[in-house]
Amino acid sequence: MKKLIIIFSVLSLLIFIRPVLGLGANNEVMETTAVSNTQVQTPDEENVLDGAFKGIKTFYNYTGFANATSGHIIMIIVGIIFIYLGIKYDYEPLLLIPIGIGVIIGNIPFVAGNQTGIYETGSVLNYLYFGVVKGVYPPLIFLGIGAMTDFSSLIANPKLMLLGGAAQIGVFATFLGALYLGFNLPEAGAIGIIGGADGPTAIFLSSKLANGINVLADGTTVKNLIGPIAIAAYSYMALVPVIQPPLMRLLISKEDRKIKMKPPRAVTQKEKMIFPVVALILTLFISPSALPLLGMLFFGNLLKESGRTERLAETARTKLIDIVTILLGVTVGASTQADIFITKDSMLIFGLGAISFVIATCGGLLFAKFMNLFLKDGNKINPLIGAAGVSAVPDSARVVHTEGLKSDPSNYLLMHAMAPNVSGVIGSAIAAGIILSFLG
């Protein structure tokens, strides 16, 4: 054994250190005499050595150092900031960290042609990005959401659903704003959905309307805005705890903030089972284009509530949603390749996104105050929960809860805020369906 190995290694090392020993390579190849060999040798020697320098020079042109642009650097820093926010301040870490690292990955400077970049056909990232471009990931995430969401607060107090509707003002106002800024109709529709405060819905709609593929009646091709829209949606969702509180204090009076609401009634298991089925049929009959989103959402919820399919629900809300979240996060992040991402449009979209969240929140809050005009004392709702209508589940609900506690430490609003919160999800999915029907 040892013997064998010695021979092995010696032999192979010989081959390897040949140039040092100065034996011609090509003489084994093209039988030449020892003489011509030595003649060939010296040039060959240099050949190899300065070849090495040439090689390094050549290779340098492939490195990121040779191809880096200010855009790449900026985006990489942005990615690092995302990660930092996720880790340090715990803003949506499960999204900001994958997206952040994705932004870095997507902005490593490379030379096109080796199937490296996310926009190069045949690259691995491109295959994984497929699920975003074709809108496949969002419904799978909605499946998991459905399997982890409890709709009882909504069933117990259906009128709170309207708050989820009011917040959709954000969607349509942003849509209008985008039109004013010169985006064409489908692009504006996709941008508007940022106001839905709902990442998967935003990705789904933009993949259908602003995918860089569709051609309009007037022959112009829509821009690919999936990246900016997704990043905007997720960023502002992460910032809900920063955006909403000031608006609440601004629009809701101290007394109103103190309003205590009646505990929601208990909900039977049977109601919970019927809810997803009925909601699915009703909402989709009204807005069929929302089918992939709402269909999967209520499917997941039925798996959870049926009491017979717990193992499927468990898988849907853990491993399945985790896998999809990982792939979605990193590819959405990587889609922010500097040369494609850093454009005036992206900046406009971020501006509109901020406005849309503000409008949505205000819409929810004001509509809550408006509803109170028609409710007799004792039944009045605490207007704060209107802010939860933007969805961004369950952050905005928690923000409401915290604000409520600030004005009255014994006032637990979380349960009540969950109703508008989840109806906000349904609302923006319906809105997405409507926009898709009109502009798809």
| Contact pattern for a copy of itself over residues 58 through 77, marking x by CB under 8 A | xx--xxxx-xx-------x-
Nearer to other proteins, 75 or 430 (CB): 430
Query: Residue 276: which H helix or E strand, with range?
Result: helix 269-286
CA distance 376 to 93: 42
Contact pattern from residue 86 through residue 125 relative to a copy of itself, giving x for each residue in contact according to CB under 8 A and a dash for the rest:
xx--x--xx--xx--xx-xx--xxxx-xxxx-----xxxx
- Using CB under 5 A, which residues numbered 390 to 419 contact Na ion? 391
- Quick check: 196 binds Na ion (CB under 5 A)? yes
Rounded to a whole number of angstroms, the minimum distance from the CB of residue 416 to a copy of itself is: 24
Q: How far apart are CA 143 and CA 141, in angstroms?
A: 5
Nearest residue (CB) to other proteins, 380 versus 416: 416
Contact call for residue 428 and Na ion (CB under 5 A): yes
Q: Residues 347, 208, 237, 410: is their CA dihedral positive or negative?
A: positive
Among 128, 148, 405, 415, binds a copy of itself (CB under 8 A): 128
Cβ nearer to other proteins, comparing 127 with 438 = 438
Q: Which is nearer to a copy of itself, 169 or 393 (CB)?
A: 169
> Which of residues 206 and 283 has its CB atom nearest to other proteins in the complex?
283
The label of the residue with tokens 């601004």 reads 250
Which residue from 158, 212, 263, 440 is in contact with a copy of itself, where contact means CB under 8 A?
440
Angle ∠(122,124,129) on CA atoms, nearest 5: 95
Whichever of 240 and 434 has its CB closer to a copy of itself, that residue is 434
Angle at 111 between CA 108 and CA 102, to 5 degrees: 25
From the list Na ion, a copy of itself, other proteins, none, partner contacted by residue 216 (C-beta under 5 to 8 A by kind): other proteins
DSSP for 59-95, please give it.
HHTTSHHHH--HHHHHHHHHHHHHHHHHHHS-SSHHH
First to last CA, the chain: 71
Q: Is 310 in the site for other proteins (CB under 8 A)?
A: yes
**Residue 50 interacting with a copy of itself (CB under 8 A):** no
State in angstroms the smallest separation of the CB of 3 from other proteins: 27
Contact between residue 313 and residue 150 where contact means Cβ atoms under 8 Å apart: no
Alpha carbon separation from 233 to 50, 174, 226 (Å, rounded): 53, 12, 10
The verdict on 349 binding a copy of itself (CB under 8 A) reads no
Coil, strand or helix at 283: helix
Stretch 91-130 residues interacting with other proteins (CB under 8 A): 92-95, 111, 113-114
**Stretch binding a copy of itself (CB under 8 A), from 34-42, 171-179, 384-392, 409-417:** 171-179
Residue 386 binds other proteins, judged by CB under 8 A = no
Q: Which of 257, 356, 398, 403 binds other proteins (CB under 8 A)?
A: 398
Rounded to 5 degrees, what are φ and ψ at 120? Answer: -90, 120
397 is a contact residue toward other proteins (CB under 8 A):
yes
Report if residue 143 touches a copy of itself, rule: CB under 8 A: yes
Please give the Cα distance from 68 to 81 (Å, whole number).
19
Q: Which stretch binds Na ion (CB under 5 A): 48-56, 279-287, 317-325, 428-436?
A: 428-436
CB of 379: closest distance to a copy of itself in angstroms? 28
Q: Quote the CA–CA distance of 405 and 324 in Å, as a whole number.
A: 36
Q: Does 239 bind a copy of itself (CB under 8 A)?
A: no
Residues binding a copy of itself: number (CB under 8 A): 108
Q: Mind giving me the DSSP string for 10-34?
A: HHHHHHHHHHHHT--SHHHHS---H
In the region spanning residues 187 to 216, those forming contacts with other proteins, defined by CB under 8 A, are 188-189, 197-200, 214-216
Q: Which two tokens stand for residue 30?
A: 């093209």
159 binds, among other proteins, a copy of itself, Na ion, none (CB under 5 to 8 A by kind): other proteins
Q: How far is the CB of 203 from a copy of itself (least distance, A)?
A: 12
Q: Which residues inside 365-424 make contact with a copy of itself, applying CB under 8 A? A: none
Site for other proteins in 242-281 (CB under 8 A): 263-275, 278-279
The answer to whether residues 258 and 407 touch, using CB atoms and an 8 Å cutoff, is yes
- Indicate the residue among 71 and 394 with the shorter CB distance to other proteins: 394
Cα–Cα separations (whole angstroms), residue 59 to 64, 69, 76, 110: 10, 18, 23, 12
Binding mask 297-336 for a copy of itself (x = CB under 8 A): -xx--xx--xxxx-xx-xxx-xxx-xx-xx---x------
Torsion, Cα 246 247 252 258, to 10 degrees, reads -50
Residue 222 φ/ψ region, left for φ over 0, alpha for ψ in the -120 to 50 degree band, beta for the rest:
beta
Q: Judging by beta carbons within 10 Å of its beta carbon (0-12, 13-18, 19+), is residue 103 exposed, middle or buried?
A: buried
Helix (H) or strand (E) holding 357: helix 344-372
Residues making contact with Na ion (CB under 5 A):
196-198, 391, 424, 428
